[in-house]
Amino acid sequence: MVKCIIIEDEVLAQDVIKSHLQKIAGFELTGICNNALEAKQVLTVKEVDLIFLDIQLPGMTGLNFLRTLQNPPLVILTTAYTEYAIESYEFNVIDYLLKPISFERFSKAVNKVIESKLLLQKLKADHIYIKSSGKYFKINFSDIIFIEGMKDYLKIFTADATIVTLQTMNEMEKQLPADQFIRVHKSYIVSLARIKSIYGNNIETGKSTIPIGINYKEKVMQLTGKKFG
């Protein structure tokens, strides 16, 4: 869940962003602040992943507020003025939205947040949580041997268990660190650390043999330093 706050002094603009957020899964609005001082107080007591920040705020501008933060959350700037766009680049913001903000444009900005958050998670985390049978299971990346896709379901094979979850291969691939896992078939992802051998159109991971898809063989063979064909 991406925890958000809105820093905006105009009630109409607050309501627009709030309404847009309610239509997108995975985002939780935890606070609305009318100025930078209120926002400072919220940031000291709440976990915040994303700020929707108006540039023209009473007392202190949004950009000056950002300058006071040592480790700011992800930021999407909102403003009615285009002239701040260049200056905003120094803050490495996710996006710059011009009012009035359409849902289509808002969605594009939020998608950038999702991609950024997934990247941060992959860089920092050594595990994922997988929902199965009404529970969330913590699975360490180091415990995963391979993952098998079955339409909208996945089987995650570890040394101790096999966990079935409602998720697609593409969704799972985005959650896994690319330096630890490789997609070898439209229906299989394999842990690089668990590969015992590669031969023909197969990969051995101990007790299991995984097929290599023709569209993935070139990438797999690069692991051995050999060219396909």
Write the class of the CATH domain 127-221.
mainly beta
Amino acid identity, position 19: S
| Tens of each residue's pLDDT in the chain, 229 residues | 889 999 999 999 999 999 999 999 889 999 999 999 999 999 988 889 899 999 999 999 999 999 998 888 899 999 988 887 777 777 888 999 999 999 999 999 999 998 887 667 666 678 888 889 888 899 999 999 999 999 889 999 998 999 999 988 888 888 888 888 999 999 999 999 999 999 889 999 988 999 999 999 888 888 766 554 4
Q: Is the pTM of this model over 0.85?
A: no
Give the number of other Cβ atoms within 10 Å of residue 7's Cβ.
26
Strands 202-204 and 209-211: antiparallel
Question: Using alpha carbons only, how large is the chain's radius of gyration in Å?
Answer: 22
What topology does CATH give the domain 2-124?
Rossmann fold (3.40.50)
Per-domain boundaries in the chain: 2-124, 127-221
Tokens standing for residue 144: 């995963």
Note whether 93 and 79 are within 8 A (CB). Answer: no
